[in-house]
A and B are shown apart, each in its own frame.
Chain A
Protein backbone atom coordinates (compact mmCIF):
# COMPACT_ATOMS: atom_id res chain seq x y z
CA UNK A 1 0.00 0.00 0.00
CA UNK A 2 2.82 2.42 0.83
CA UNK A 3 4.31 1.47 -2.53
CA UNK A 4 1.28 3.18 -4.05
CA UNK A 5 0.43 5.90 -1.55
CA UNK A 6 3.79 7.69 -1.65
CA UNK A 7 3.87 8.10 -5.44
CA UNK A 8 0.14 8.90 -5.55
CA UNK A 9 0.57 11.62 -2.90
CA UNK A 10 3.65 12.95 -4.64
CA UNK A 11 1.98 12.99 -8.07
CA UNK A 12 -1.18 14.63 -6.76
CA UNK A 13 0.67 17.40 -4.90
CA UNK A 14 2.92 17.78 -7.95
CA UNK A 15 -0.09 18.21 -10.25
CA UNK A 16 -1.67 20.71 -7.86
CA UNK A 17 1.57 22.71 -7.71
CA UNK A 18 1.93 22.74 -11.49
CA UNK A 19 -1.61 24.05 -11.85
CA UNK A 20 -1.35 26.73 -9.14
CA UNK A 21 2.04 27.84 -10.47
CA UNK A 22 0.72 28.33 -14.00
CA UNK A 23 2.72 25.54 -15.65
CA UNK A 24 -0.45 24.04 -17.14
CA UNK A 25 -1.11 27.32 -18.99
CA UNK A 26 0.97 27.21 -22.20
CA UNK A 27 0.67 30.99 -22.61
CA UNK A 28 2.23 31.45 -19.17
CA UNK A 29 5.08 29.06 -20.00
CA UNK A 30 5.75 30.62 -23.40
CA UNK A 31 5.59 34.06 -21.75
CA UNK A 32 8.48 32.93 -19.54
CA UNK A 33 10.40 31.64 -22.55
CA UNK A 34 9.71 34.91 -24.42
CA UNK A 35 12.83 36.56 -23.05
CA UNK A 36 13.09 39.27 -25.69
CA UNK A 37 9.56 40.70 -25.69
CA UNK A 38 7.08 40.80 -22.80
CA UNK A 39 8.93 38.48 -20.43
CA UNK A 40 6.78 36.87 -17.71
CA UNK A 41 9.03 35.87 -14.78
CA UNK A 42 6.35 33.77 -12.99
CA UNK A 43 8.02 30.45 -13.79
CA UNK A 44 11.24 31.63 -12.18
CA UNK A 45 9.27 31.77 -8.91
CA UNK A 46 7.90 28.27 -9.54
CA UNK A 47 11.38 26.91 -10.18
CA UNK A 48 12.86 28.88 -7.26
CA UNK A 49 10.26 27.61 -4.80
CA UNK A 50 10.63 24.02 -5.93
CA UNK A 51 14.44 24.06 -5.88
CA UNK A 52 14.43 25.69 -2.42
CA UNK A 53 12.32 22.91 -0.87
CA UNK A 54 14.27 20.19 -2.66
CA UNK A 55 17.62 21.64 -1.57
CA UNK A 56 16.40 21.21 2.02
CA UNK A 57 15.17 17.70 1.21
CA UNK A 58 18.61 16.74 -0.11
CA UNK A 59 20.15 17.96 3.18
CA UNK A 60 17.77 15.69 5.08
CA UNK A 61 18.40 12.83 2.65
CA UNK A 62 22.13 12.89 3.36
CA UNK A 63 21.40 12.15 7.02
CA UNK A 64 19.09 9.23 6.29
CA UNK A 65 20.29 5.65 5.94
CA UNK A 66 17.21 4.64 3.97
CA UNK A 67 13.99 6.27 2.79
CA UNK A 68 11.05 6.34 5.21
CA UNK A 69 8.95 3.83 3.27
CA UNK A 70 11.39 1.88 1.10
CA UNK A 71 14.39 -0.37 1.63
CA UNK A 72 17.00 1.78 -0.09
CA UNK A 73 17.57 4.98 -2.03
CA UNK A 74 17.52 4.48 -5.77
CA UNK A 75 19.12 7.62 -7.16
CA UNK A 76 21.07 8.55 -10.31
CA UNK A 77 24.81 8.66 -9.70
CA UNK A 78 26.16 9.54 -13.13
CA UNK A 79 28.28 12.64 -13.55
CA UNK A 80 29.39 12.40 -17.19
CA UNK A 81 28.42 15.02 -19.76
CA UNK A 82 27.54 13.30 -23.01
CA UNK A 83 26.41 14.43 -26.46
CA UNK A 84 23.26 12.40 -25.85
CA UNK A 85 22.44 14.36 -22.66
CA UNK A 86 23.05 17.73 -24.29
CA UNK A 87 21.46 16.89 -27.65
CA UNK A 88 18.40 15.36 -25.98
CA UNK A 89 18.00 18.34 -23.64
CA UNK A 90 18.36 20.73 -26.60
CA UNK A 91 15.57 18.86 -28.41
CA UNK A 92 13.38 18.87 -25.32
CA UNK A 93 13.74 22.66 -25.01
CA UNK A 94 12.63 23.09 -28.63
CA UNK A 95 9.51 20.99 -28.06
CA UNK A 96 8.82 22.81 -24.78
CA UNK A 97 9.03 26.16 -26.56
CA UNK A 98 6.82 25.13 -29.49
CA UNK A 99 3.71 24.28 -27.45
CA UNK A 100 4.53 25.60 -23.97
CA UNK A 101 4.16 22.13 -22.42
CA UNK A 102 6.62 19.82 -20.71
CA UNK A 103 5.79 16.26 -19.52
CA UNK A 104 4.36 17.04 -16.04
CA UNK A 105 1.96 19.78 -17.18
CA UNK A 106 1.04 17.61 -20.19
CA UNK A 107 -0.33 14.92 -17.85
CA UNK A 108 -1.81 17.45 -15.40
CA UNK A 109 -3.61 19.25 -18.25
CA UNK A 110 -5.55 16.03 -18.97
CA UNK A 111 -7.87 17.31 -16.21
CA UNK A 112 -8.00 20.84 -17.68
CA UNK A 113 -8.14 20.46 -21.47
CA UNK A 114 -8.47 16.71 -22.05
CA UNK A 115 -8.49 16.81 -25.85
CA UNK A 116 -5.41 18.98 -26.34
CA UNK A 117 -3.49 17.36 -23.49
CA UNK A 118 -4.25 13.84 -24.76
CA UNK A 119 -2.85 14.73 -28.20
CA UNK A 120 0.33 16.11 -26.64
CA UNK A 121 0.75 13.16 -24.24
CA UNK A 122 0.11 10.57 -26.99
CA UNK A 123 2.69 12.22 -29.26
CA UNK A 124 5.17 12.43 -26.37
CA UNK A 125 4.75 8.71 -25.61
CA UNK A 126 5.20 7.97 -29.33
CA UNK A 127 8.48 9.92 -29.24
CA UNK A 128 9.59 7.92 -26.19
CA UNK A 129 8.62 4.70 -27.98
CA UNK A 130 10.66 5.76 -31.02
CA UNK A 131 13.78 6.14 -28.85
CA UNK A 132 13.06 2.78 -27.26
CA UNK A 133 12.71 1.04 -30.63
CA UNK A 134 15.81 2.61 -32.17
CA UNK A 135 17.93 1.85 -29.11
CA UNK A 136 16.57 -1.67 -28.90
CA UNK A 137 18.25 -2.44 -32.20
CA UNK A 138 21.69 -1.41 -30.99
Chain B
Protein backbone atom coordinates (compact mmCIF):
# COMPACT_ATOMS: atom_id res chain seq x y z
CA UNK B 1 0.00 0.00 0.00
CA UNK B 2 1.32 3.44 -0.89
CA UNK B 3 0.45 6.91 0.24
CA UNK B 4 -0.51 9.44 -2.45
CA UNK B 5 2.23 12.05 -2.78
CA UNK B 6 4.76 10.01 -0.80
CA UNK B 7 6.09 7.25 -3.10
CA UNK B 8 8.68 6.03 -0.57
CA UNK B 9 6.31 5.76 2.39
CA UNK B 10 5.17 2.38 3.74
CA UNK B 11 2.16 3.40 5.85
CA UNK B 12 0.73 -0.11 6.36
CA UNK B 13 4.07 -1.58 7.45
CA UNK B 14 4.60 1.45 9.66
CA UNK B 15 1.20 1.12 11.29
CA UNK B 16 1.64 -2.66 11.78
CA UNK B 17 5.04 -2.12 13.37
CA UNK B 18 3.63 0.65 15.54
CA UNK B 19 0.73 -1.50 16.78
CA UNK B 20 3.22 -4.24 17.71
CA UNK B 21 5.44 -1.73 19.55
CA UNK B 22 2.35 -0.51 21.41
CA UNK B 23 1.41 -4.12 22.26
CA UNK B 24 4.95 -4.76 23.54
CA UNK B 25 4.82 -1.66 25.74
CA UNK B 26 1.33 -2.62 26.95
CA UNK B 27 2.57 -6.10 27.98
CA UNK B 28 5.35 -4.46 29.98
CA UNK B 29 2.96 -1.98 31.60
CA UNK B 30 0.05 -4.29 32.43
CA UNK B 31 2.16 -7.41 33.03
CA UNK B 32 5.21 -6.11 34.88
CA UNK B 33 3.92 -2.66 35.87
CA UNK B 34 6.79 -0.87 34.17
CA UNK B 35 7.57 1.54 31.33
CA UNK B 36 9.08 -0.12 28.25
CA UNK B 37 11.73 2.55 27.82
CA UNK B 38 14.66 1.06 25.95
CA UNK B 39 17.39 3.50 27.04
CA UNK B 40 16.49 3.14 30.73
CA UNK B 41 16.13 -0.63 30.63
CA UNK B 42 19.39 -1.01 28.67
CA UNK B 43 21.21 1.22 31.17
CA UNK B 44 19.80 -0.95 33.95
CA UNK B 45 20.88 -4.18 32.22
CA UNK B 46 24.45 -2.94 31.83
CA UNK B 47 24.63 -1.59 35.38
CA UNK B 48 24.66 2.03 34.22
CA UNK B 49 21.53 3.19 36.03
CA UNK B 50 19.84 2.67 39.36
CA UNK B 51 16.41 1.15 38.99
CA UNK B 52 14.07 -1.09 40.90
CA UNK B 53 13.80 -3.34 37.84
CA UNK B 54 15.53 -6.71 38.35
CA UNK B 55 18.66 -6.84 36.18
CA UNK B 56 17.75 -10.26 34.80
CA UNK B 57 14.44 -8.86 33.59
CA UNK B 58 16.21 -5.90 32.00
CA UNK B 59 18.52 -8.33 30.19
CA UNK B 60 15.55 -10.42 29.00
CA UNK B 61 13.98 -7.30 27.45
CA UNK B 62 17.23 -6.19 25.79
CA UNK B 63 17.90 -9.68 24.36
CA UNK B 64 14.34 -9.78 23.04
CA UNK B 65 14.93 -6.76 20.80
CA UNK B 66 17.37 -8.43 18.35
CA UNK B 67 15.47 -11.71 18.77
CA UNK B 68 12.30 -10.06 17.46
CA UNK B 69 14.26 -8.45 14.63
CA UNK B 70 15.79 -11.83 13.76
CA UNK B 71 12.37 -13.51 13.60
CA UNK B 72 11.02 -10.81 11.27
CA UNK B 73 14.04 -10.87 8.93
CA UNK B 74 13.87 -14.67 8.77
CA UNK B 75 10.15 -14.68 7.93
CA UNK B 76 10.21 -11.85 5.39
CA UNK B 77 12.69 -10.87 2.75
CA UNK B 78 13.37 -7.27 3.57
CA UNK B 79 16.34 -5.69 1.79
CA UNK B 80 19.39 -5.15 4.01
CA UNK B 81 19.46 -1.52 5.17
CA UNK B 82 22.66 0.50 4.93
CA UNK B 83 24.23 2.06 8.01
CA UNK B 84 26.47 5.08 8.53
CA UNK B 85 30.27 4.83 8.57
CA UNK B 86 31.83 3.54 11.83
CA UNK B 87 33.10 6.95 12.94
CA UNK B 88 29.63 8.42 12.39
CA UNK B 89 28.07 5.57 14.38
CA UNK B 90 30.51 6.21 17.25
CA UNK B 91 29.73 9.94 17.39
CA UNK B 92 25.97 9.36 17.10
CA UNK B 93 26.04 6.56 19.67
CA UNK B 94 27.92 8.65 22.22
CA UNK B 95 25.51 11.56 21.82
CA UNK B 96 22.47 9.25 22.04
CA UNK B 97 23.86 7.59 25.18
CA UNK B 98 24.59 10.87 26.96
CA UNK B 99 21.36 12.51 25.78
CA UNK B 100 19.03 9.69 26.76
CA UNK B 101 20.49 9.44 30.27
CA UNK B 102 20.31 13.19 30.87
CA UNK B 103 16.88 13.37 29.25
CA UNK B 104 15.61 10.29 31.17
CA UNK B 105 14.37 8.51 28.07
CA UNK B 106 14.21 8.09 24.32
CA UNK B 107 11.70 7.45 21.55
CA UNK B 108 10.14 4.51 23.42
CA UNK B 109 9.93 5.78 26.99
CA UNK B 110 9.04 9.39 26.22
CA UNK B 111 7.68 9.06 22.66
CA UNK B 112 5.46 5.98 23.07
CA UNK B 113 4.85 5.39 26.78
CA UNK B 114 4.97 8.97 28.08
CA UNK B 115 3.12 10.74 25.27
CA UNK B 116 0.26 8.22 25.37
CA UNK B 117 -0.04 9.03 29.09
CA UNK B 118 0.05 12.78 28.32
CA UNK B 119 3.05 13.17 30.62
CA UNK B 120 4.18 16.79 30.51
CA UNK B 121 7.84 15.80 30.71
CA UNK B 122 7.50 13.29 27.87
CA UNK B 123 5.57 15.70 25.62
CA UNK B 124 8.32 18.32 26.05
CA UNK B 125 11.11 15.75 25.66
CA UNK B 126 9.58 14.30 22.48
CA UNK B 127 8.98 17.72 20.93
CA UNK B 128 12.58 18.63 21.76
CA UNK B 129 14.25 15.57 20.25
CA UNK B 130 12.02 15.75 17.17
CA UNK B 131 13.01 19.38 16.57
CA UNK B 132 16.74 18.75 17.02
CA UNK B 133 16.43 15.59 14.89
CA UNK B 134 14.79 17.55 12.06
CA UNK B 135 17.40 20.32 12.41
CA UNK B 136 20.33 17.86 12.43
CA UNK B 137 19.24 16.14 9.22
CA UNK B 138 18.51 19.49 7.54
CA UNK B 139 21.95 20.84 8.51
CA UNK B 140 23.74 17.67 7.40
CA UNK B 141 21.92 17.76 4.06
CA UNK B 142 22.90 21.40 3.60
CA UNK B 143 26.52 20.75 4.55
CA UNK B 144 27.24 17.54 2.60
Contacts and interface: CB of A to CB of B under 8 A. Distances in A.
Interface of A: 2-28, 30-31, 33-58, 60-61, 64, 66-70, 72-76, 78-81, 84-104, 106-113, 116-117, 119-132
Interface of B: 3, 6, 8-36, 38-39, 41-43, 46, 48-49, 52-54, 56-58, 60-73, 76, 78, 80-84, 86, 88-104, 106-108, 110-117, 119-121, 124-126, 128-138, 140-141
Contacts, number: 501
A128 B88 contact: no
Tell me the dominant secondary structure on chain A's binding face.
helix
Q: Which among B108, B114, B140, B141 has the highest number of chain A CB atoms within 10 Å?
A: B108
A101 B14 contact: no
A12 to B, nearest CB: 4
Contact of A95 (B32, B76, B99): B99
4 closest Cβ contacts across the A-B interface?
A21-B17, A127-B97, A11-B64, A49-B18
A74 to B, nearest CB: 5
Contacts of B108: 14, 102-104
Nearest to A53: B22
Contact of A53 (B26, B43, B67, B88): B26
A23 to B, nearest CB: 7
Contacts of A31: 8
